[in-house]
Chain A
Amino acid sequence: MGDFFKSIRFKILLAVLILLLFFMLRAAWTGGAPIISQTTGAIVTPLQKLSSSISYTVTGYFERFFHADDIAKENEQLQEQIRELQNQLVDYEQYKQENENLREFLGIKEENPDFELEPASVVARDPNDRFYSFTIDKGSLDGISPYDTVISADGLVGRVKEVGLNWSKVLTLLDPSMDIGAYVSRTRDIGVVTGDVALAQEGMCKLTYLPRESGAARGDLVVTTGGLFYPGGLIVGSISEVRTEKGEISLYAVVTPAADIRSVKQVMVIKSYLEQGVATGE
């Protein structure tokens, strides 16, 4: 084995190791994606886009078989509905829901004309992700930058962490490293939305630092306060439960995100908005 450590092959491997270490330190220092990551990402992302679209199609097909019991129950309910509403079409509700979703997407733009939006598809979910972070098929070529806000038709999803040429990594609001200024729309109590390891397993996050006298209750909507990193007025989710923090100094609310973070497929990236320009003085 001693021969190996004296060989040129060992020295090459050592050089690769030092190069990787350099890239790691540079990434830690600058926070950006190194050139090696940019290049690999540019090659891999189109393949991921293809595989994810195949996966969504196949999953959609096989879901009928995997969820046969659920579908059977739903079918019974629909049959009942048909009996009750004989003159209505069976899939009226489904079309209505789809229509509402599309309207909501359009509505985001109409309600917030200052938003510069970029639609994107979720193309990869890494096995290493613990808080449902994902990769989208849009990057710096589409004008996306780190810290851009990511939303779906239902509400806030997270923020862009790292940007490549044609891909970006997105951290979701289930991640404990996220801190989002938010308030309870009914009581106007201000807090910070952040992830929690235990709650993330159930697809939920929490609104911390609520005052002890807060009247926040189950069902209340949580909305972003706005600022440099997140536009104001974005729906984060609804409160499921209000609990006391350890030490009983303040309260925190368990929040069910409005967006289905664990299986979201289509998102919108907010590239710029009015408050951002105000905050940065542009």
Chain B
Amino acid sequence: MNEQKKWLTIKYSLNTILIILLYVLQTTPGFLLIFDVKPNLAVPTAICIAMREGEFVGGLYGAFAGVLCDLGSPNLFGLNAIIFLIAGTAAGLLVIYMLRPGVINFVFLTAGALLTCSLLDYLFHYAMWEYENVWMVLVYHLLPGVLYSAAVSPLCYFAANSIYKYFAVKLQR
């Protein structure tokens, strides 16, 4: 294994560990809980990786973050993984062709991905079943969850971006 491959392996392993750790934190009972709403930390990290590493790596990390979200979710396995695979790929492509990889764009992309997922989640798991007062799920849980996740997402950005920058220097040598 040459030097370049070694650093790449370490970088991707660190990104994977970061996503797992943030997922563990986001599912820890009571952690960052405000008014019964918790932020999603794994997906913003995957979006940041997608913005920095491109559509291919971004899609794979998006799918990985989605699988983790599906793991704790009481709903059908796979929906989050598929949505975030597409979101990660789209984020990577958008940064390559249209957007600058800054923190503002990152927050908007994160909010967009989480909002899309939340709306589909709402449609398939709540609205279609026509539970009474089902709008409350959207207004009191899903939308505040998206806003809360977007608000704390810069922390994920700085964590994932730091890994990217550190290894960019190593890989340029």
Contacts and interface: CB of A to CB of B under 8 A. Distances in A.
Contacts of B66: 20
Interface in B117-132: 121, 126, 129, 131-132
Contacts of B73: 126, 128-129
A16 B59 contact: yes
Contact of A13 (B30, B37, B59): B59
B56 A55 contact: no
A23 B76 CA distance: 10
A110 B66 CA distance: 44
Interface string B23-60: 11111111100001111100000000000000110011
B60 A48 contact: no
A41 B136 CA distance: 30
B24 A24 contact: no
A262 B33 CA distance: 12
A25 to B, nearest CB: 8
Contact-residue size bin, chain B (C-beta under 8 Å from the other chain): 35 or more
Interface residues of A, number: 57
A169 B71 CA distance: 9
A19 to B, nearest CB: 9
A37 B70 contact: yes
A37 B133 contact: no
Nearest to A22: B78
A25 B79 CA distance: 10
18 contacts: A17-B86, A20-B63, A21-B82, A24-B76, A24-B77, A27-B77, A44-B23, A47-B21, A48-B28, A126-B69, A127-B27, A127-B39, A128-B121, A133-B74, A171-B74, A197-B126, A198-B132, A201-B140
